A = this chain, B = another copy of it.
Amino acid sequence: MEHPTKRERTTAALVHAALDLFERGGYEQTTVGEIARAAGVTEMTFFRHFPTKEAVLLDDPYDPELIAAVGARPASEPPFLRAARGVRGAWRSLPEPETPVIRRRIRIIALTPSLRGAMWRSTGNTERALVEQLVADGAAPAVARVAAASVLAALVSGLYAWAEAPDGSLAEAIELALDVIDVRP
């Protein structure tokens, strides 16, 4: 990261410009062309960095880490706890400096109906991956599905709550949400 490649720099510029414009004028009202221009680039280039307009907000690289964190927990744990604690751990180890950006993204998502739908779809992918991981380690599919669905639902609801009124750190908010689900031993 010492020498960010040019591609990384433009991607960052696009994200920055997009967040600014979305917050200022709303998601729907902001044009991809406007974002690109604000980042000193062409509309075409935007789509070379993000497959869709939504992706600039939803494309988060945390998914694989999340799956890995769940996989790292002992397979002897019941799937439900395994998922809940894996997710908890993954978010706890998030570098603090990134949280403000995450918060801006989630706030925009929270107050844009069409983005909430997209968020749901995106979560669906994570859910599938999570189920796959749990089943690969021996969980019954039906159990894995319920576990993944409810843990992710709690996670998302925690994210929304935190974005609206951040009473503490992101990690704390996530843990709070997961506490509702996790039954401590």
Contact = CB atoms under 8 A, between A and B. Distances in A.
Contacts of A120: 117, 120-121
Nearest to A121: B117
Q: How large is the interface on A (under 10, 10 to 19, 20 to 34, 35 or more residues)?
A: under 10
A124 B116 CA distance: 10
A165 to B, nearest CB: 16
Copies of this chain per assembly? 2
A185 interface: no
A116 B117 CA distance: 9
Contacts of A124: 113, 116
A131 to B, nearest CB: 15
A114 interface: yes
Interface string A35-75: 00000000000000000000000000000000000000000
Interface in A91-118: 113-114, 116-118
Interface of A: 113-114, 116-118, 120-121, 124
11 contacts: A113-B121, A113-B124, A114-B121, A116-B121, A116-B124, A117-B117, A117-B118, A117-B120, A117-B121, A120-B120, A120-B121
